[in-house]
Amino acid sequence: MHNLVQITPEDFSGKIFHMIAHEHMLITSGDETGFNTMTASLGMFGMESWKYAATCYVRRATHTFSFLEKNDLFTLSFFGGKYQHEVDRILGVKSGRDGDKIKESGLTPVFLSRTVAFAEATVVMVCRKMYVRDMDTQCYVHADEIPSMYQKGILHRAYTGEIIAMYVKSGG
């Protein structure tokens, strides 16, 4: 059981820039038949086509990438600092290809709005893909600001999703 309650994105009063920079975010895609999750510290939030939207960035080499490619929905789950070890040292290091990292983390999957999040999260955004694009080093205006990982050819794919549901921890 979880104590996540649904709110509208308009009613969310969290510090989104603090959350993306300092709280622990998981990108998760899939459903009850199978899913995968990964840590992330890159993202953007705002409006796209007059809809509340979130963008996350995922490298092709990750196991989560294949789930994002085949599923229409994904979640962004934030944890504050409470689950730092589980999120960073287990889910951020181990691959779902190699074993059951969710079980090892001790986090509890919950199925919200036809996709997967975690009962321990303080904030969950359920997103429906609306725009997908590969990052391109040619699009950087200031070539000297291209992240070193991109210079090595390790590009991310950007997934922008309409926030179709949002949940917060009851009392939080």
All domains in the chain, ordered by first residue: 4-169 (2.30.110.10)
Q: Say which residue, 130 or 153, is predicted with more confidence.
A: 130
Question: What pLDDT shows up at residue 148?
Answer: 76
Burial of 26 (0-12, 13-18, 19+ CB in 10 A): buried
- pTM of the entire predicted model: 0.91
> CA dist 167 to 10, 87, 109, Å?
12, 19, 14
Whether pLDDT at 37 is above 80: yes
pLDDT in tens, 136-150: 888 888 878 877 767
